[in-house]
Structure 1
Amino acid sequence: MIIHINLESKYPIYTQVRNQIIEGIALGELKSGERLPSVRGMASDLGINLHTVNKGYKQLEKEGFLQIHRQRGVIVAPEEHRKADDFYREDSGHQVKMVVAEAICRGVSEEEVTRLIKETYQTFEKGGDTDGNSSH
């Protein structure tokens, strides 16, 4: 999996790293138990500060997507660690609420928002290219 950093993005670099790793897991490009580069290695590969990568990795660990071990390194967490919990559902509800609110403010119809969500979901299920739908 290749991570692309967009320095012009409105999203912080650590969020871009986080989001692309989650996309990689969703697309099946990253499998449970698979090793990721160390914080230092990822920072070097991307040409960014290691504290930025560390922040993204720590967020992913907190959210259950990664496990960070001193001896084993950074690995993709097993599926059972990534299952939705009440906090996830509440947070997702808030995020959806904000997407809908912004869509309404920008004059985007309910049908268009629904279509975009369905298309994006189907793209992930098929393991396809998400560049048009990603948040980086």
Structure 2
Amino acid sequence: MFIEIKTNSSVPIYLQLAHQLIEGIVRGELKPGDSLPSVRAFAADLGMNMHTVNKAYHYLEEKEFIQIVAKSGVFIQPNGIPGATVIEKQQLKEQMRPLLAEGLVLKLSEEEMVKMLHELVQDIKEGKP
């Protein structure tokens, strides 16, 4: 799996890393039970600070996408990732709301935004940036 970090992005590096790992899970490049590199090894491979990788891992652990097992390693959730809970769906909806409002202010139609959403889903599944 190829990881690309954009240093000029407004998105923090740890989130860029976490989001790319999530996309790898979506595409099946990372499967339940697969191990991820240690924080130290991943940071060295990516040329970034260990604390950044650690923060990304803890973000993913909090979302229950990965499991960190002391002295054993980091694994994609071995039992698979369950579907979204009602609370998680509500949180995603709340996160999308400001973006949709911004689109409406910019005079995008609902149809245009739905089309953009479909395109993004396809890009994620196909591994396009």
Q: Normalising by the residue count of structure 2, what TM-score does the alignment of the two structures yield?
A: 0.91
Give the superposition deviation at 1:85.
Answer: 1.4
Give the superposition deviation at 1:63.
Answer: 0.1
Equivalent residue number for residue 13 of structure 1: 13
Q: Deviations over 1:21-57 (max 9, x none)?
A: 0000001111111011111111111111111111110
| Structure with greater contact order relative to length (CA < 8 Å, sep ≥ 6) | 1
CA pair 78-85 structure 1, distance change in 2 beyond 3 A: farther
Q: How does 1:25-104 map to 2 (within 5 A)?
A: 25-78=25-78, 80-104=80-104
Give the superposition deviation at 1:72.
Answer: 2.3
Deviating more after overlay: 79-88 vs 69-78? 79-88
Give the superposition deviation at 1:118.
Answer: 1.6
Equivalent residue number for residue 107 of structure 2: 107
In structure 1, the residue corresponding to 2:67 is in which secondary structure?
strand
User: Is the CA contact (8 Å cut-off) linking 2:34 and 2:78 kept in structure 1?
Assistant: no
Q: Which ranges of structure 2 fall in alignment gaps of 5 or more residues?
A: none
CA RMSD in angstroms comes to 1.6
Q: Which ranges of structure 1 fall in alignment gaps of 5 or more residues?
A: 132-136
User: Is the CA contact (8 Å cut-off) linking 1:63 and 1:82 kept in structure 2?
Assistant: no
**How many aligned positions are there?**
129
Structure 1 moving runs of 4+ over 4 Å? none
Equivalent residue number for residue 134 of structure 1: none
